Amino acid sequence: MAEKNRCSFFLALVLISCCEGLIRAERAEEELKEKVPGLDVQRNIYNLTNYINDTLSSIQMEIRRKMTLTLDQLELAGVFPDHIRPKTCEKGMVLNSTYYPFSYAIIYPNQSMPMNITFPHLCDHVTDGGGWIVIQRRSTGEVNFTRGWNDYKHGFGSFRTNFWLGNEKIHQITTSGKYEIKITIKYNNTLYTADYRRFIVQNESWKYRLLVFGYRGTGTTGNAMYFHHQRYFSTFDSDNDSNYYLNCARENTGGWWFFSCYGSNLNGEWGAYGPKAARWNTLSLFGELQYTEMKIRKWGSLTITNSRNGRDQVNTT
């Protein structure tokens, strides 16, 4: 019943907009008759036709804008019809774009989902067969990524714009199976990708240490994550890098798996230039990035054993 009410509301919105357009057109006709009474009938009809066409064009544009806005609001608010919305984020899941007009879907947890994913997450169900859980995305500087440990632990931002999913969530996902990662970067109006066969973030006792290997890049992207394998996560208020002289997160902005200091830092200051900027050094050493996205996908099972000190031991084969 709730789904029918939503659809009815959406259709009513479109009909109201159309009715408003007809009323505006009728008013325009009356105004034109008053303004140009001395013109012949043919000239009146010509002017009226042009005026109505222009008015209808503007109304159509407004209707399209409202329809798009409404669809986005429904999707992001989680009220899109349940029988259309994807239930899981898995490779090979095919969606009918006629009924679900999005390349990305927000997956909301339910009892049928794996127990390790108990939180909403953004899924790319199109790229390379789909099944990609997006853990980071940036396209503007409206969300500040220079944040402390707790913010990076729990996540921040908006699925609609820029966000970091959260280290604890990324840990829960990547230790539930074997995950690959696809990193997409836009630089100088060109898209580049870097793929890694294995991507694991260990638990907080390990300072969310990163294990990333099996590089498969395209073109001149370069293996900038090579330097961050087995590195601990650092923020300005939690210095876990291997630089004895400075805090890399404080010096270069953002939270990342710094060493001394980085080969990449996709969480650096957006729009900045130099070491504080969001960078992928093998590609954008001397320029700013225009877009970044990190997304992970499961491809196999994983064995984890618990050690006495509470640190998970991960099978990295």
In-domain check, residue 7 = no
Amino acid symbol at 27 = R
Report the domain count for the chain: 1
Q: Give residue 205's pLDDT band: very low, low, confident or very high (50, 70, 90).
A: very high
Q: What confidence category does residue 70 fall into, taking pLDDT thresholds of 50, 70 and 90?
A: very low
Prediction pTM value: 0.71
* Contact present, 155 and 163 (Cβ < 8 Å): yes
Measured between alpha carbons, how far is 188 from 288 in angstroms, rounded to an integer? 8
* Furthest C-alpha separation in the chain: 96
Output the pLDDT for position 112: 59
Supply the range of the domain harboring residue 178. 81-231+287-298
pLDDT in tens, 297-306: 998 887 655 5
pLDDT band of residue 286 (cuts 50, 70, 90) is: low
Residue 89: inside a domain, yes or no? yes
pLDDT band at residue 10 under the 50/70/90 scheme: very low
Higher per-residue confidence, 287 vs 96: 287
* Candidate from 104-113, 125-134, 164-173 with smallest mean pLDDT: 104-113
Model pLDDT, residue 182 = 97
- Let me know how many helices (H) and strands (E) the chain has, helices first: 6, 13
Domain with residue 188: its CATH number is: 3.90.215.10
Residue 254, in any domain of the structure: no
Could you report the per-residue pLDDT of 217-256, keeping only the tens digit for each? 767 889 999 999 999 999 999 999 999 999 999 999 999 9
Task: Tell me whether residue 223 is in a domain.
Answer: yes
Give which of 259, 247, 260, 254 is closest to 279, Cα–Cα: 254
